[in-house]
Amino acid sequence: MRIIVTDLACRRGDRVLFAGLSLDVAAGEAVQVVGENGIGKSSLLRIVAGLAPAFAGSAKVIGVAGLLDERCALDPALALGRALEFWSGIDSGPPGKPERSHLERLGLAGLLDVPVRYLSTGQKKRAALARLLGQRAGVWLLDEPLNGLDGHAVELVEALAGEHCAAGGIAFIASHQPFRLEAMRSLRLAEFSA
C-alpha cells in the first residue's frame, strides 16, 4: 500500500492553494501535513481520498483508504450501536457487529444505546474512530483527528495511529495541533503555497 502524489496543485474558487506538491508515502509510514488554517490541508486529504478533483498533477492511493473528518457519518437519530452496525454491515458483511474490543478501548461500550445526536463532540469523534477501525483500511486519512478530544483521548488516538503504522498501515494526518508519533514526517504545506 502506498500514497503517490505527483506535482499536485489544488484550486479553491479562483485561488490556487498549493502547487508542485510531490510525495510518496510507503507502507508503515506516517506523515503529518502542517500549516495554518485555510492553507489547504483538508483539500489535500480530500484530493488524495479521490473526493475532490486535482487542479493539476495527480494523487492516488494504492490500497483501501479510510477517511476521518469532522463529520462522523453516523445517523444522528439512531443509537450509537445501531449506527455503527450499519457500517460494519457494509464493511464486513452480516452479522455486522462492531468489534467489542475497539469500543471498550475507545470508551464507547457504555454509550451504545445513546442516540448519536446526544453525543458530545469528543464522543462523536471517538465513534467515528470506531467506524474507521471497523473498516480495516490500510491507509488512514485523518483530518484534524484531535479536534474536540480531551488529553486522554488524544493519547489514545496517537497510540492507535502508532499501532496502525507498526502493523504496516499508512497514517496521513492533517492537523494544526502537535501529533506525537514516532518517526513521523512533517509536510509543510506553506512551502508549496502559490
CB of 90 to another protein, least distance (A): 5
| 15 lies in the binding site for another protein (CB under 8 A) | no
Closest of 127, 148, 142 to residue 83, by C-alpha: 127
Amino acid at 64: V
The residue whose grid cell reads 504545506 is 189
Total residues belonging to the chain: 194
The single residue among 20, 38, 63, 76 that binds another protein, judged by CB under 8 A, is 76
Question: What is the Cα–Cα distance from 98 to 4, expressed in whole angstroms?
Answer: 31
Nearest residue to 143 (alpha-carbon basis) of 87, 66, 74, 67: 67
Nearer to another protein, 81 or 86 (CB): 86
Report if residue 178 touches another protein, rule: CB under 8 A: no
Comparing CA positions, the residue from 65, 60, 63, 104 lying closest to residue 81 is 104
**Part in contact with another protein (CB under 8 A); list of ranges 22-30, 43-51, 154-162, 168-176:** 43-51
Shortest reach from residue 183's CB to another protein, in Å: 26
Q: Please give the grid coordinates belonging to residue 139.
A: 491507509
Which CB, 13 or 151, lies closer to another protein?
13
Q: Is 49 in the site for another protein (CB under 8 A)?
A: yes
User: Which residues in 103-142 contact another protein (CB under 8 A)?
Assistant: 131, 135, 137
By the rule CB under 8 A, 71 interacts with another protein: yes
Gap between the Cα atoms of 93 and 81, Å rounded: 16
Between 5 and 61, name the residue whose CB sits nearer to another protein. Answer: 61
Q: Binder to another protein among 29, 69, 144, 158 (CB under 8 A)?
A: 69
- Determine the Cα–Cα distance for residues 67 and 69; give it in Å rounded to an integer: 6
Helices and strands per DSSP (H, E), number in the chain: 5, 8
Q: Which residues bind another protein (CB under 8 A)?
A: 49-52, 65-67, 69, 71-77, 86-87, 89-91, 93-94, 96, 131, 135, 137
